[in-house]
Structure 1
Amino acid sequence: MDSVVRPDTPTGGATTPRRSALARLLDVGFVRFLAVGGASAALDTGLLWLLHGALGVWLPAATLTAVVAAFVLNFLLNRSWVFVSGGSAGGQFVRYLVLAGLNWVLTVAAVTGLVALGAHYLVARVGVLAVLTVLNFVAYRVWVFRPPAPA
């Protein structure tokens, strides 16, 4: 880890460690972001099982209900817990929907393209998921849940 000299500190120029990009990423909620994704996936899967597996709800209706519930939970937790955003919820939700649509298109295109290049479909899917997870975190932070402009 590099050190940075900070002459304006009360210690009169003592060095402080430069934090890595990973440390800065974790500081702004990446672990929380991953936890929200896991919670959303668990709700989606668990609700699908409850509705279809236990209660016998028609599979398309159960699937749609589970996906919508997980989608809403994901938005609300990212807004309130990960990015702690006080901006307009309506505008943020529209940007969230746009990003979700872009994700679906990119996922299909990237997985299909990687498979055409010889990758196994599951390896392609996991790789695309990993890349999009990081890109989505950044997009949520700088676009979807961006802090309001100073007045």
Structure 2
Amino acid sequence: MSPVAGQEPRGSWPARVYRHSLTRFLFFSAVGLTFDLTVLALMDALTPLPYQASVTIAFVLTYALNFCLNRWFAFDAAHGHAGGQLGRFLPQVAADYVLVVFGVTLLVELGLPLLPARVLSAATNAVLNYCAYRWWTFRDAGTAGLPADEQVDA
């Protein structure tokens, strides 16, 4: 199949998968979750804080890291206005925080250890976070919300 006049081929499917925001989001989510679990395990082992406080501290540190990694690398949105992105990010994080604390608390109360409870709560929020990052937090007003990896030159 030949490309449309004026458009270059988008590349092989491995290149498209690599460039897609979902692939990069999943990679940086794994980095963030590893960071979160490390902080959480250290706080649980080394401090007398209740697990809700440890989850909160790890969550805040992780989401600061996630905002930067996703903004710069996963969604190629560093060219956008950081204030607007941060303004859209904070309500998303607040909702995510409520879901995480509720999920972790419920699972721990049901007898699941803290770290597996945190992993399960992160997994349930990943889909919501990707959609929010892609179509709201890091959207580019000039491209109708399409991330850089899905923009088509006219």
Map of 1:89 onto structure 2: 82
C-alpha distance in structure 1 between counterparts of 2:34 and 2:85, whole Å? 24
Partner of 2:27: 35
What TM-score, normalized by structure 2, do the two folds share?
0.58
RMSD (Å) for aligned C-alpha atoms: 3.8
Q: How many residues align?
A: 123
Gaps in structure 1 of 5+ consecutive residues = 10-15, 109-121
- Tell me how far 1:46 sits from its aligned partner: 0.8
Aligned partner of 1:145 in structure 2 is 138
Contact 2:36–2:62 at 8 Å: present in 1 too?
Answer: yes
- For the residues of structure 1 that align with 2:85 and 2:4, how far apart are their CA atoms? 41
What one-letter code is carried by the residue in structure 1 that aligns with 2:63? F
* Structure 2 residues without counterparts, runs of 5 or longer: 103-116, 144-154
Sequence identity (%):
31
Q: Residues 66, 18 of structure 1: CA spacing in aligned structure 2 closer, same or farther, 3 A cutoff? A: closer
Q: Which amino acid aligns with 1:5?
A: S
**Equivalents in 1 of 2:10, 2:139: separation in Å?**
28
Whether the 8 Å contact between 1:87 and 1:148 is mirrored in structure 2 is: no
Structure number with larger C-alpha Rg: 1
Structure 2 counterpart of 1:100: 93
Higher relative contact order (CA 8 A, sep 6+): 2
Distance of 1:29 and 1:8 partners within structure 2: 26
Post-superposition Cα deviations, 1:95-119, rounded to whole Å, max 9, x if no partner, equal 12223345567898xxxxxxxxxxx
Aligned residue number for residue 59 of structure 2 = 67
> For the residues of structure 1 that align with 2:4 and 2:27, how far apart are their CA atoms?
39
